[in-house]
Amino acid sequence: MSRKHIALIYAGGTVGMTRTAQGFAPTPDFDSSLAKLLENQDASLPRYTLHAYESPIDSSNATPRDWQRIGRDIATRYNDYDGFVILHGTDTMAYTAAALSFMLQGLRKPVIMTGSQIPLSAPNSDAPHNMVTALQLAASDVINEVAIYFNGRLLRGNRATKVSITALDAFDSPNYPWLAETLPQLRFDMQALLPQADQEKFELPDYDDTLVLPLRFVPGLPVRAVRAMLDLAPRAVILQCYGAGNIPDRDPALLELLGRAHASGVVLVACSQSPQGKVSIGTYAAGAGMTAAGVIGTGDMGFEAIFAKLHHLLALGMTADAVRKEFLRNMSGELTD
């Protein structure tokens, strides 16, 4: 039986950088460094072909158009490979992973995102372990979704969030079990993995400059700040609320403002500032006013998934009412039914 063939897409990130006088910058010979690392691995490693972007993306500069580029690159090569590994910066990796899960619905092979906290070229880098293990996971027969692999944890891509700037355990999924642990040995959680779909259902719309804006409530936030944000004419607003989905309701002007925005076609969704738990707008009496204003809850979705999902649905050309309805449907395992 021939070894599986994996597409290794280097989109950017710390993994392929080196320290310079001006700070970290892309390593000019990353491909040769990678080849040197992987040629010393045992025969259990699948074959790979490197596809490196000419201008690596600093993930803090990533935009929805970059998600689209990566998604279309995977779709274009989908039938040529048995799996995919995407090397990406950690800062916005969870956003890209979530977006890919919506573009590449019904995956029937692995798409594994990884990177590192320490460049491959630096001593004690976490890059060798992350890349080697990601390649091994991309050859798995039981993974049929977009996932993030980091330091022993395999996480559903649209459930992941970055939890540390410096620790090697850079990512976690607060509202969903890990798909697998690899340390000290590989162990899958078969109940957590998505089952293999009958057929792929890729959706690759044009991601434009649609405004999806976050609004984080803090004590004493003036209503005029909310009004200024809505004056930017966003297509959707993510209300980052307290607890189970609470906002200040002492000033009726806030709910009136949200109600007018809803009536004008703005999609309003409420998530929690707490990373773990489920948003339930009706838990407290204040939620009645939010519901009347057209705000919908986000269940147990993470912020990155909410942001990417709204972008995706709006890019499909849906009306505001259609987005509100489709947003509440579990599309790729991002939401507990």
DSSP 76-124: HHGGG-SEEEEE--STTHHHHHHHHHHHEET-SS-EEEE--SS-TTSTT
- Average pLDDT of the residues in 164-170: 94
Give me the pLDDT at residue 1, please. Answer: 53
CATH no. for 5-202: 3.40.50.1170
Edge-to-edge strand ranges of the sheet holding 212-216: 212-216, 236-241, 267-272, 296-297
- Average pLDDT of the residues in 73-88: 98
Inter-CA distances, 240 with 28, 42, 163, 206, Å: 41, 47, 18, 27
Please give the structure tokens belonging to residue 301.
Answer: 């979705």
- Average pLDDT of the residues in 242-270: 93
Give the pLDDT confidence of 48-76 residue by residue, as tens digits. 999 999 888 888 999 999 999 999 999 99
- Average pLDDT of the residues in 278-283: 83
Inter-CA distances, 109 with 56, 81, 106, Å: 25, 9, 9
Pairing of strands 171-172, 153-156: unpaired
- Average pLDDT of the residues in 76-101: 98
63 is catalytic: no
Shared fold status for 5-202 and 212-327: yes
Give me the pLDDT at residue 33, please. Answer: 80
Residue 27 pLDDT > 80: no
pTM tops 0.75 = yes
Residue among 233, 200, 235 at smallest CA distance from 315? 235
- Work out the pLDDT band at 251, boundaries 50, 70, 90: confident
Interatomic CA distance for residues 28 and 108, integer angstroms: 34
Q: Which of 14, 27, 161, 182 is catalytic?
A: 14
Q: What are phi and psi of 328, to 5 degrees?
A: -85, 0
Every domain of the chain and the residues it spans: 5-202, 212-327
CATH no. for 212-327: 3.40.50.40
